[in-house]
Amino acid sequence: MKIGIFDSGIGGVSVLNEALHKLPNENYIFYADVDHVPYGLKTPEEIIGFTDSIVQELLSQGVDALVIACNTATSVAADYLRDKYDIPIIGMEPAVKPAVEASKSSGRVLVMATPVTIRENKLRSLLQKVDTDHMVDLLPMPGLVRFAESETFDGPEVEAYIDEQLAIFDRSLYSEVVLGCTHFNYFKPAIKAAFDGATKQTIEMIDGNVGTIKHLAERLGLEINETSFVNFADANVTYLESGRIVPDGRPKDKYNRLHLRLEEVRAF
């Protein structure tokens, strides 16, 4: 099957990476909307417009299903896109439910996401359903999207930003951190380090990628075929950046680098 996976930028590569591990025999088109990143600082109307054009482009390339590899776009545009297009559209939402379940008695849950995801009703209604004991706190981290797009995943600037954002929180209270934006997966080592020493237990980081790919497989009737080694350079993926094909050679090296980074942080 031909599967379209899209995001505002490189965050969605983490979802593609999971898809290549779990559904290695499918064909993928990965679309990064680099001309419009970050979505997390745009209006819902703008995001609906951007994602609508992406879906039209991917449909014209003959995809059988779509994954919105972006919590922000899902929270404002998924319903609109599902109403408009007759194709399976899998969205993402911050993995609050598993985090709340895992945190029972061990600590609080901190959800990191973009300002749009945090403001939108989708997350509010999810919290009303699953956070009955009020164990969840929310933290917008738009700066991490900016760092991610420049492939700065570690180092003093990133550490200082994370520390600054966490300044009003008592880190010792938390046991789970929800990575509610696909761009945040690259920062697992820096986020973990920011909590090390402050909590009794090691912080657990939960993202929605595995759940999203399982959901995709179920919707399409595909069998999960977990493979630990993926040859990313030869994988069956076409990369598009705001509609332009990423050619082989240096431009494509970026995506191979990103997959390697994701392999490094997979075990965190």
* Binding residues vs ligand DGL (CB under 6 A): 7-9, 11, 37-40, 70-72, 114, 117, 145, 181-183
Q: Which residue has the tokens 């920011």?
A: 194
Q: Please report how close the Cβ of residue 43 comes to ligand DGL at its closest, in angstroms.
A: 13
For ligand DGL, the closer CB: 38 or 107: 38
Q: 181 catalytic, yes or no?
A: yes
Closest-approach residue to ligand DGL (CB): 40
Residue 17 or 114: the one with the smaller Cβ distance to ligand DGL is: 114
Look up residue 64 and give its two tokens: 């059988």
Q: From the CB of 123, what's the least distance to ligand DGL, in Å?
A: 11
Asked if the peptide bond before residue 38 counts as cis, ω within 30 degrees of 0, the response is: yes
Q: Which of 70, 112, 203, 206 is catalytic?
A: 70
70 counts as catalytic: yes
Q: How many CB atoms lie within 10 A of CB 136?
A: 21
Q: Pick the closer one to ligand DGL by CB: 96 or 181.
A: 181
Burial environment of residue 85 by CB neighbours within 10 A (0 to 12, 13 to 18, 19 or more): middle
Q: What is the side-by-side strand order in the sheet with 204-207? A: 136-140, 108-113, 174-179, 204-207
Name the catalytic one among 181, 194, 246, 258.
Answer: 181
> How distant, in Å, are the alpha carbons of 115, 173, 190 from that of 153?
20, 25, 8
Shortest distance in whole angstroms from residue 160 CB to ligand DGL = 20
CB of 20 to ligand DGL, least distance (A): 18
CB nearer to ligand DGL: pick between 107 and 205: 205
Residue 115 or 189: the one with the smaller Cβ distance to ligand DGL is 115
Smallest distance, Å, CB 239 to ligand DGL? Answer: 16
In whole angstroms, give the CA distance from residue 203 to residue 197: 10
Positions marked catalytic = 70, 181
